[in-house]
């Protein structure tokens, strides 16, 4: 063998080795990626669940008379976003409970719409009842979170 053919053989062998190493790395990365994605989805779900707990607590502590409709609406919007974030995480965990929470949020939205700009004892009472419903529905979600997110 000449020096050129020996050098060419070494280059070809080296190149094949690099291609094989890249292929193995690609397969290994792909195999790990799906585990990472599912862990990431669970982490996103749990983080949104933590935000939900904070926002539901905030909703329960709003004084509609002193804070006004805007204070309740702000918490309402935050809770709707938390539920959306939990669903966007891509898990089916707590689907039934999240549906029930959505229904109670719809009732709260209707109560807020009924307030208009005028807060009276009667319509504030309707909002308070709807807030209680959101709290109850959220507790069912929190039960699932405590079992899923540890």
Report the distance separating Cα 18 and Cα 146, nearest Å.
Answer: 48
Report the distance separating Cα 92 and Cα 52, nearest Å.
Answer: 17
The 10s digit of each residue's pLDDT in 118-146 is 777 777 888 889 999 999 999 999 999 99
The 10s digit of each residue's pLDDT in 73-95 is 999 999 999 999 999 987 788 99
Go through the domains of the chain in sequence order and give each one's CATH number: 40-148 (1.20.120)
| pLDDT tier for residue 69 given thresholds of 50, 70 and 90 | confident
Tokens of 143: 């039960």
Instruction: For CA atoms 39, 42, 44, 50, give the dihedral sign.
Output: negative
Q: Model pTM greater than 0.85?
A: no
Residues 112, 80: contact at Cβ < 8 Å? no
Report the distance separating Cα 115 and Cα 109, nearest Å.
Answer: 10
Count, residues in the chain: 150
Report the distance separating Cα 132 and Cα 122, nearest Å.
Answer: 16
The 10s digit of each residue's pLDDT in 22-42 is 333 333 323 334 444 555 788
């Amino acid at each position: 063998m000449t020096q050129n053919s020996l050098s060419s053989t070494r280059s070809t062998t080296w190149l094949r080795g690099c291609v094989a190493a890249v292929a193995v790395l690609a397969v290994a990365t792909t195999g790990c990626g799906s585990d990472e994605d599912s862990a990431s989805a669970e982490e996103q779900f749990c983080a949104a669940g933590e935000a939900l707990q904070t926002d539901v607590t905030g909703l329960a502590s709003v004084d509609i008379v002193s804070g006004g409709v805007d204070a309740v609406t702000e918490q309402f919007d935050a809770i709707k976003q938390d539920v959306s974030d939990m669903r966007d995480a891509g898990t089916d965990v707590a689907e039934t409970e999240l549906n029930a929470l959505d229904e109670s949020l719809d009732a709260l939205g209707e109560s807020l719409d009924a307030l208009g700009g005028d807060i009276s004892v009667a319509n504030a009472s309707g909002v308070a009842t709807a807030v209680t419903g959101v709290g109850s529905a959220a507790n069912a979600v929190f039960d699932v979170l405590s079992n899923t997110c540890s």
